[in-house]
Copies of this chain bind each other. A is one copy, B any other.
Amino acid sequence: MMSSEAPKPQFRWSHLLIGRPLETRALPHQVVSNRIGLAVFASDALSSTAYSIEEILIILALAGTGVATLGLSIPITFAIVSLLIILTISYRQTIHAYPNGGGAYIVARDNLGELPAQIAGAALLTDYILTVAVSISSGVAQITSGFHALYPYRVEMAVGVIAFMTIVNLRGVRESGRIFAVPTYFFIFTMLFMLIVGLVKYTLGDLGTVKEVDELVRHDVQSLTLFLVLRAFSSGCTALTGVEAISNGITAFKEPKSKNAATTLTYMSATMIVLMIGLTLLTHQVSALPSEKETIFSQVGRTVFGDSSIFYLAVLSATALILLMAANTSYADFPRLAALHAGDGFLPRQLTYRGSRLVFSWGIMGLATSASLLVIVSRARVTSLIPLYAIGVFLSFTMSQSGMVVRLRKIGQLRPGEEVPGRETVMRYDPHWRLKMFISALGALCTGMVMVIFAVTKFASGAWFVVLLIPTLVFIFFRIHYHYRDVARLLSLEGVPVDVEKRSIQTLILVDDVHAETVRLVNFAKSLDHPWHAVHIAVNPNKVDLIREKWHKRIGEGELVIIPSPYRLLAEPLRQYIEELQARTPGSFVHVIMGHLAMDTFWEQALHQNSAVIFNLALSRMERVVVTSVPYQIHRNGLAREHSAEAHRDH
């Protein structure tokens, strides 16, 4: 009939903050190069070294700060590195198998079923929130290590950073990539430089040890048990959080997506291994000790470069920046994963809506709110957050790799050359399926064990919360799913005869006072050409006579029914009245027409009660009660005259 041309969105002040709206067709162009991809997706994994080494030492220090005790951090680190290598190989397989995005949720859904998928998803969503909270708290701790005066403001600083990051991400991923590329590379090069200088000084016998450390106050020295070592190991495993980020975000890479993503993953892991081993050895060499007020990196940095060196400042700022930016990985992944859940009907559907900049705005806001809450509750202390952290990631690792094992077993049962289309990807025979399956199984086994160690050794200090939270989330996800399923069934027209017969309509006009707006209401009701009468709810009994008189004088037609309301309620007396009407003529529509004064500004609007909201809420529970709002525009400036002119002309 009519082909409306698409209107350009009007200017809003928010566009200055998050950029001008983008058209839907701009969507596929939002991809990143490998170099930017490394910056966007690796910052989480790389930055974890900043707190993982520290948290290992904090746990070991419970058994004393002797060289032999703290030296255990070296074998622990090698164990973690081995785990990382297994994970990397395993995840490269996943990336190749799922070129459209191979996060734990998708892999589990594809191979294990709905429940494991929801468990993996709930675990990951929890951990994305924790990544933001932990990374930003640790980043702020780096800053306050250099500037002790800022220590009391760490919570405010952390929340401020979350707010900034939220705005950047509401702009969209490509812009974020550019902003975040610099800090990631700055961190890598600063750390490598520190390792080299440290190595040179060590060779020359020039390195020395940390001076003036504000040691952690320890309550009582525990004995060095296997339990304690495992606890330290599990704390250190937080370094591996973020390794899965690339597998979730394959679609953000340029074509060929899988190859680019896998290459980036390999580069990332190699960098991580160098940093983890190098920094652990250096930390041990300079005898850095965990402290409340100064981070390990700060101690190492000033020992290697000297207190007032510009390179010491570079270490602090590079670590702070990459940590603050690491949170960005979660900003990329959380909304994407939440949208996947929502698309499958396990989270509110609003999470699938793309905002004006094509990002999942609801997911971004949800992540920002939850992470801010965690930062506030934990007073931005990393050590308080660590026990909650990483269980989710390791649970999802296990799920994802178990899914790959199932998938590879199926592939092994195909004949060479045979292809089977699946929900996500095509399964194709692979001669190396046995080796690949072994790697995935090994990965699943190791990460599963680490998860159990984590949950057991940290249960009392906070892990219990996550152990309870994940099943709760899964329960909620399924409740939501059943809701959507039931609503869809109730709304479905399959097999139900469609009833579009005419019914009778009884029209009511709600009258508060008699003035020009009332005339508009009567005008509309008469134009509808159905039987109608007016209703006044007598909240103020003193006004009734005046209104009745004005009605007869001004309108002079139609009946005006007065409904008493001794408790000054608006909706309940009307509801009762409509129920009586409906009882007399069942099956008919009751059509309630009410006015609404529309003002030019918010402030003017706030001076008038919007009863329409109250009525809509109260009447929406009633079968076949239809509510119509007839706006009457009030323009105080200039247009006022036009209005009265129009009123005259119309007549």
Interface residue ranges, A against B (CB under 8 Å): 1-2, 4-10, 21-25, 348-350, 353-354, 356, 480, 483-484, 486-493, 496-505, 514-517, 519, 522-524, 526-530, 533, 541, 554-555, 557, 559, 561, 563-569, 572-573, 575-577, 580, 587, 589, 591, 596-598, 604, 606-609, 612, 616, 619-623, 625-634, 636, 640, 643-644, 647-648, 650-651
Copies of this chain in the oligomer: 2
Are A587 and B650 neighbours in the complex by a CB distance under 8 Å?
yes
With the chains together, A633 CA to B354 CA distance in Å?
A: 28
Are A643 and B572 neighbours in the complex by a CB distance under 8 Å?
no
Given contacts A21-B567, A498-B554, A527-B504, contact A621 B648 (CB under 8 A): no
Given contacts A350-B609, A528-B528, A626-B629, contact A516 B502 (CB under 8 A): no
CB-based closest 4 A-B pairs: A491-B515, A628-B628, A620-B631, A598-B620
A498: B residues at CB distance < 8 A: 519, 554-555
With the chains together, A647 CA to B622 CA distance in Å?
A: 16
Are A517 and B491 neighbours in the complex by a CB distance under 8 Å?
yes
Are B621 and A633 neighbours in the complex by a CB distance under 8 Å?
yes
Given contacts A500-B523, A500-B557, contact A356 B4 (CB under 8 A): no
Are A497 and B647 neighbours in the complex by a CB distance under 8 Å?
yes
A604: B residues at CB distance < 8 A: 483
Contact of A607 among B348, B505, B515 (CB under 8 A): B348
With the chains together, A245 CA to B557 CA distance in Å?
A: 50
A628: B residues at CB distance < 8 A: 591, 626-629
Given contacts A483-B636, A631-B619, contact A349 B500 (CB under 8 A): no
Other A-B pairs, 8, CB within 8 Å; known A496-B644, A524-B626: A2-B580, A7-B572, A24-B566, A487-B636, A490-B640, A505-B527, A524-B589, A596-B620
A636: B residues at CB distance < 8 A: 483, 486-487, 490
Give the shortest distance, in Å, between A56 (CB) and chain B (any CB). Answer: 36
Are A490 and B516 neighbours in the complex by a CB distance under 8 Å?
yes
Are B497 and A523 neighbours in the complex by a CB distance under 8 Å?
no
Give the shortest distance, in Å, between A572 (CB) and chain B (any CB). Answer: 5
Are B24 and A607 neighbours in the complex by a CB distance under 8 Å?
no
A23: B residues at CB distance < 8 A: 566-567
With the chains together, A648 CA to B576 CA distance in Å?
A: 28
Are A25 and B566 neighbours in the complex by a CB distance under 8 Å?
yes
Are B643 and A490 neighbours in the complex by a CB distance under 8 Å?
yes
A7: B residues at CB distance < 8 A: 569, 572-573, 575-576
A647: B residues at CB distance < 8 A: 496-497, 499
Contact of A567 among B24, B503, B568, B591 (CB under 8 A): B24
A576: B residues at CB distance < 8 A: 4-5, 7
Given contacts A21-B567, A483-B607, A515-B493, contact A523 B501 (CB under 8 A): yes
With the chains together, A501 CA to B627 CA distance in Å?
A: 22
Are B625 and A577 neighbours in the complex by a CB distance under 8 Å?
no
